[in-house]
Amino acid sequence: MTKIQEGVFENVLKATKMHCTLQMEYKTAQNTEYEQRIFDPYHMVCQKGSWYVLGFSHHANAICLYAMPRIRNCKITNDKFKIPKDFKLSDHIDVQMGAWGNSGEKVRVEIEFVKWLKTYVMERTWHKGQVLKENADGTVYLSFETNQLSQTASWVMSFSGGAKVLNPPELKEMVIQAAKDILSNQ
């Protein structure tokens, strides 16, 4: 579990429940400096051992996902907000593939696994709404919908060549590029 500054979790939880705007400092993964943020927290989610909060960022004027360990000096304001009626958490986070705030259209992912992974792949539920079937040649076909392609690429890479992306082409390219990056760093 990643470390969250004292008081941050409690304030985010309270503000989320009460629909109160937060004033906080945030540091992105790429930056070394914290920046002021005004934020309306809609939902909290724990993903792979780390807490995130999704909501409306006044700074970005958009729905954003913030990693709670990178929040500090978090204060609840007296300003209230309403979550838009058309807001759906599933449009922003795919809890099976990851919490990366990739809003956007879901795409159908199709993956083929090698024969030696058949038992391992067939005995698991990888994603709600998945289609999983054994092919005549002993390979396994898996498909599901997600808007988290970068996380899906990392997941495919975790099979060390035992999984082949059939679709979409952009996911296939992500996996190829990741493999090239690994080779160039060795």
- CATH number of the domain within which 78 lies: 2.30.30
- Does any domain span residue 35? yes
What was the pLDDT predicted at 156? 93
HEC readout, 122-161: HCCCCCCCCEEEECCCCCEEEEEEECCHHHHHHHHHCCCC
**Residue 3 located in a structural domain:** no
Asked if the model's pLDDT at residue 99 lies above 70, the reply is no
86 and 156 fall within a common domain: no
Written as one letter, the residue type at 94 is D
124 occurs within a structural domain: yes
Do 76 and 135 share a domain, yes or no?
Answer: no
Phi and psi at residue 181, to the nearest 5°: -60, -40
- Find where tokens 């498909």 sit: 143
Same-domain pairing of 80 and 114: no
Is 115 in the same domain as 174? yes
- Domain membership of residue 23 (yes or no) is yes
Residue 30 lies in a domain: yes
CB contact at 8 A, 29 and 52: no
Domain boundary, last residue among 40, 59, 91: 91
Do residues 113 and 85 share a domain? Answer: no
- Let me know if residue 13 belongs to a domain: yes
**Per-residue model confidence (pLDDT) at position 98:** 60
Residue 61 lies in a domain: yes
Q: Give the confidence band of 42 by pLDDT, cuts at 50, 70, 90.
A: very high
Q: Are residues 15 and 85 in the same domain?
A: yes
Q: What is the pLDDT of residue 125?
A: 86
**Mean pLDDT computed over 144-164:** 89
Is 132's pLDDT higher than 90? yes
Q: Are residues 118 and 179 in the same domain?
A: yes
pLDDT at 103 over 70: no
What is the total count of domains within the chain? 2
Residue ranges making up the domain that contains 120: 107-184
Separation of alpha carbons 53 and 175, rounded Å? 28
Which of the given ranges, 15-19, 96-100, 117-121, 172-176, has the highest pLDDT on average?
15-19
Where does 32-99 show beta strands of DSSP type E? 35-47, 50-57, 62-67, 71-80
Task: Summarize the confidence of residues 159-169 as an average pLDDT.
Answer: 94
Q: Which residue from 157, 169, 124 is spatially nearest to 142, judged by alpha carbons?
A: 124
Alpha-carbon gap, residue 151 to 153, rounded angstroms: 5
pLDDT digits (tens, 9 = 90+) for 43-55: 998 877 789 999 9
Residue 1 lies in a domain: no
The two tokens of residue 100 are 């990366």
CA 9 to CA 3: how far, in whole Å?
A: 10
* Separation of alpha carbons 79 and 57, rounded Å: 14
